Amino acid sequence: MTPRPAPVPPEDRRRLLNATHHNPHAVLGTHKPAPTEPLAIRTWHPYAESVTVHLPDGAAPVPLHPDGDGFFTTALDLPDPPPPYELEITYAGTRIRTPDPYTLLPSLGELDLHLIGEGRHEQLWKVLGAHPMRHQNISGTRFTVWAPNALGVRVAGDFNRWDGAAHTMRSLGGTGVWELFVPGLGEGELYKYEITRPDGTRTLRADPLATRTETPPATASIVHSSHYTWHDEDWLRTRAARPAHEAPFSVYEVHLPSWRPGLTYRDLAVQLPAYVADLGFTHVELMPVAEHPFGGSWGYQVTGFYAPTARLGTPDDFKHLVDALHRAGIGVIMDWVPAHFPRDDWALAEFDGRPLYEPADPLRAAHPDWGTLEFDYGRREVRNFLVANAVYWCEEFHIDGLRVDAVASMLYLDYSREQGRWTPNAAGGRENLDAVAFLQEMNATLYRRVPGVVTIAEESTAWDGVTRPTHHTGPTGFGGLGFGLKWNMGWMHDSLGYVAHDPVHRAHHHHEMTFSMVYAYSENYVLPISHDEVVHGKRSLVSKMPGDWWQQRATLRAYLAFMWAHPGKQLLFMGQEFAQGAEWSEAHGPDWWLLDPAYGAERDHRGVRDLVRDLNATYRATPALWEQDTAPAGFSWVLGDAAQDNVFAFLRHATDGSPVLSVSNFSPVLRHDYALPAPAGSSTWHEVLNTDAARYGGSGAGNPGPLKADPALKLTLPPLATVWLAP
């Protein structure tokens, strides 16, 4: 057979050179114009010195003719389709032999494309992004990206010296998805997408669906496949046995990069589960681990929504950490940030040259507080990106719950915006109806797909029905948002305000500790003492307390026991469990040296940590403290109006009626024979926990023997202390 040229048509040449061709497979690869004509073979490899076709069955290699601009062509008398062949591409000092990617069919199925187009692909990460696989019996990597406004898309990476010309992607119709299967590429390859915008300019973007990234400040995506084998079957099998709001639920909040700086995911898997299990917390809550360019954002400005941060290791290393926590009996909650994203020009902002993930209306797009962009929740593909992301973390990484950040900023169109700087909804209101629909879809999808999962809203307003089921319509006309739990920001602000007052003034602020019971059952609550309360001049938890060092620690201990007894679940940020005096800093983390026996005040800090351990142990063993957190029958005041004494006393009840009595004295006065109305249910009570115990650093005052409720219950109230009593 005699090779003949098969030149690239001029218009196709122009569009390929300008990176604006939507279907390179129609030009490159093999084509038979008519049954009687030879088979045309075209390939494009800028900077190549030569290209040769290697046919099977021992046929002699056939050199392709240079056609200018890096194109090589020939025409051969071969059947259509031809037998499998390979291209040998010679560069200066380098030869590459590979199957021709432009002879292959699309590697994405019609059902997947249909679901993407409908915005209903609940496992979006399995079809978009970079996936090593075998396609038409060839090993390689499939690249797929959603870029509906792009004139053209190429894959660039180390494998083509960051020139994507030889790896031009094809558009898969009206879905806006571009696809290319690249033979021979596997795990570990760095890549980005070179996108031609509608104005003809080009931008190099990280993959929105990348499951692994370079370590910041580098920004490339990495081809990845997981090889992790899980060992948490027992945990997953039992975690759905009891809903979160009816179970013990005390959370240790952690910023992984600074908990013990320098540790990797694998290192943390050794130390963190042991520490948390020793303290008795049921869960850890991880501040966002999704990839983010600026460490000072603590993970709350995400660019890689599907990739755990590479700062601490690989995605499989992060799975190992989650697995280790589960095997230690500890649930894993992850902070999730679907409210906004940063404007970095290599990430999501105007991804394909126009607003795509963000609304086109600049008044809706710009987040006024953080200089970021909000998501366009009304666009089905964007909503799909986020819903699938929630599912991704729970299914792929076995995450047990998502704490959703900044929900209020999503719900209100006028959030932090002055009059005239926001656009009302279609009914003229301030509610973001698209965000409401998104949150409902996310919660409904996640609870349907992942048994035992819990979603938690950080929502700082009085929005009605945050934890109401999505199919139940409330008085405002909206269905519930469908969250499992909600942070009780009101309780947090009020109670911290109360304990910050000098005891002599607390009588005038008594309501700050009792008001939470007015609305305690309007939602399913978590009581959060989070990182936000111990940074930026707010002082650490113990440093908020007035008085000398003894009084500060005593008030902290009393406050923690009041919190653990109050209806609602508990969350405590790292470092506060041992009364760290300094604010938290992501640069150095908790002051672990305070627990060094060589430090003079070590016993003071260890005493607070011992109290936290005992609080958790007693709490977990006492259903009255958690079983009816969301039911009015689980709480009753014994003494709620003792403002002048700074005393609060209430009962908690289990479903079987067994009670626990919590009495807090936020006065520095030791009170003997303090009389309480006799609690119903028992005539004899005994002390089960006393925050003034000497082993915690207290004065040792308390009630060592049984107490008779005849007719009143008289007990000793230690100064600045909380005592728990049981029948």
For the chain, first and last CA: distance in Å?
99
Q: Are 42 and 8 in contact (CB under 8 A)?
A: yes
Peptide bond into 475 cis (omega under 30): no
In this structure, what are the phi and psi dihedrals at residue 70, rounded to the nearest 5 degrees?
Answer: 90, 5
405 is catalytic: yes
For 641, the enclosing helix (H) or strand (E) is strand 635-642
Catalytic residue among 458, 459, 604, 627: 458
- CB atoms under 10 Å from CB of 525, counted, come to 27
Strand 454-457 and strand 401-404: the pairing is parallel
Instruction: Determine the Cα–Cα distance for residues 703 and 661; give it in Å rounded to an integer.
Output: 14
What residues contact residue 571 under an 8 Å CB cut-off, 6+ apart? 250, 251, 253, 285, 487, 526, 527, 528, 529, 530
Eight-class DSSP state of 94: E
Angle, CA of 256, 259 and 264, to the nearest 5°: 55
Nearest C-alpha neighbor of 231 from the set 319, 145, 155, 165: 319
Nearest C-alpha neighbor of 665 from the set 719, 621, 716: 719
SS in 3 state form for 322-375? HHHHHHCCCEEEEEECCCEECCCCCCCCCCCCCCCCCCCCHHHHECCCCCCEEC
Q: Which residue type, as a one-letter code, is found at position 204? A: L
Peptide bond into 623 cis (omega under 30): no
Catalytic residue among 405, 441, 591, 645: 405
Instruction: Determine the Cα–Cα distance for residues 689 and 703; give it in Å rounded to an integer.
Output: 10
Instruction: Determine the Cα–Cα distance for residues 476 and 474; give it in Å rounded to an integer.
Output: 5
Q: Are 200 and 297 in contact (CB under 8 A)?
A: no
Instruction: Determine the Cα–Cα distance for residues 454 and 468; give it in Å rounded to an integer.
Output: 13
Q: What 3-state DSSP class applies to 667? A: coil
Instruction: Determine the Cα–Cα distance for residues 114 and 174; give it in Å rounded to an integer.
Output: 10
Helix axes 380-396, 110-118, angle to 10 degrees: 110
How far does Cα 438 stand from its chain's mean position? 16
Active site residues: 405, 458
